[in-house]
Amino acid sequence: MSSKSFKATRFSPSSAKHVEDHLAVEAVLQLKLNGISYTTTVRTPGADEALARGLLFTEGVLVDTTVIPEYHHVPDHDAGHTGCLEITVPEKSLAKDVTGRRSAMVNASCGLCGIREPEELHMTGAPITTHPKQRLHIDAIQELTQCLAIHQPLFQATGGVHGALAFGSDGTVLSAHEDIGRHNAVDKVIGDLIQQGRLQDGIGIVVSGRASYEIVFKAYQAQWPYILSVSAPSSLAVEMGEHFGMCIVGFCRENRATVYSRPELVKFE
């Protein structure tokens, strides 16, 4: 259940009308890893396993994409969906000790709430050096942005969720997901491709909202050099894009786009 119906009163300059409106569901999901509470996040229910797999990958906890976790869904009977997802993996496969990490609740607008130390902001890393042989054409950027809109049925119904879409070197859509949180949508896409064994087929991601630095780092973890956003990037996102050798493109809408970093990776003719 990704949306719920609510009675409301819609006002206009000349009238007040009783309506039934559909709103995106915002629900709590606790993630436990090998019996330890890793984090509690707020998300739109659906693709919870992909969300968890993507989150653990982008946070550097379970970076081995060949590891297939076991999942146990603990239902929230009152809400009608999963309330806790218990994840089991071999301890030797974990790249980080998760004891005492990410204990705070992560809300829908912040994928990094609950971190404890500044170094957990992932400000270092080697630049991406394996770029696609063929540069992304500016026309393809517009087409991919339009594809994202097509893959956002929940947004069309509610107007209250974000979307993320991963694409390959030929412009093929590899995965698309929606969520009330931008970072959750990105994690769902990355987790989905890990589950499919196709993470390496991607070269970039399109996001419906602004391109924050955390989204840049998630794409960096996947080694995708392109980030396309229908809105603006943040200053830190652009600075990280420059550092990591990534092409950050903002305002991809209405047949226009602004390239903020690595413009040589975009073909204009």
Res 216: pLDDT: 94
Task: Report the number of distinct structural domains present in the chain.
Answer: 2
Q: Are residues 105 and 208 in the same domain?
A: no
Cα 150 from chain centre: 17
Domain-ending residue, one of 121, 149, 166 = 121
Q: What is the pLDDT of residue 243?
A: 92
Whether residue 143 sits in one domain with residue 55: no
- Is residue 104 domain-shared with residue 184, that is, in the same domain? no
What was the pLDDT predicted at 107?
Answer: 54
Q: Could you list the residue range(s) of the whole structural domain that residue 201 is in?
A: 136-267
Helix then strand then coil, % of the chain, to nearest 5: 30, 35, 35
Average per-residue pLDDT for the chain: 89
Sequence-separated (6 or more) residues with CB below 8 Å from residue 122: 60, 217
pTM greater than 0.85 (yes/no):
yes
What is the per-residue pLDDT across 96-116, written as a single tens digit (0 to 9) for each?
877 765 544 455 555 555 544
What whole-number distance in Å separates Cα of residue 230 and Cα of residue 108?
19
What is the per-residue pLDDT across 150-163, written as a single tens digit (0 to 9) for each? Answer: 999 999 999 899 99
Q: Examine the domain organization and report whether 97 and 142 are in the same domain.
A: no
- In angstroms, rounded to a whole number, what is the distance separating the alpha carbons of residues 248 and 226? 6
State whether 152 and 246 are in the same domain.
Answer: yes
As annotated, the active-site residues are 110
CATH code of residue 233: 3.40.140.10
User: CA-to-CA distance for 17 and 12, rounded, in angstroms?
Assistant: 8
Average the pLDDT over 68-88 and give the result. Answer: 94
Across the range 15-35, mean pLDDT stands at 92
